[in-house]
């Protein structure tokens, strides 16, 4: 999963296989939903089981994937 295995888990036994932050049941999509209307700070306050390091790594990887798609 492009280096995100350290931060994300995909397991059909956890949240029906939806990608979640490792060690939590918080869906990665929830982070992006929050960022549409709120800040990273608000997300982290609302989901204290997700570390800042996890959230920032996912955001950085998503940005890199997006930018590589545009450049292709």
Contacts with 24 (C-beta within 8 Å, 6 or more apart), sequence order? 47, 49, 50
Task: Cite the DSSP H helix spans in the chain.
Answer: 28-37, 40-46, 52-71
Quote the pLDDT of residue 4: 80
Quote the pLDDT of residue 71: 62
pLDDT digits (tens, 9 = 90+) for 22-70: 999 999 999 999 999 999 999 999 999 999 999 999 999 988 887 776 6
CATH code for the structural domain at 4-71: 1.10.10.10
The pLDDT of 5-11, averaged and rounded, is 91
Given a cut of 80, whether residue 12 has pLDDT beyond it is yes
Domains of the chain, residue spans? 4-71
pLDDT grade for 3, boundaries at 50, 70 and 90: confident
């Amino acid at each position: 999963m492009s280096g995100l295995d350290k931060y994300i888990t995909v397991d059909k036994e956890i949240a029906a296989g939806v990608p979640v932050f490792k060690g939590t049941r918080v869906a990665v999509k929830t982070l992006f939903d929050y960022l549409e209307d709120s800040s990273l700070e608000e997300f982290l306050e609302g989901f204290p089981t997700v570390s800042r390091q996890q959230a920032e790594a996912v955001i950085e990887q998503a940005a890199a994937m997006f930018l590589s798609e545009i450049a292709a």
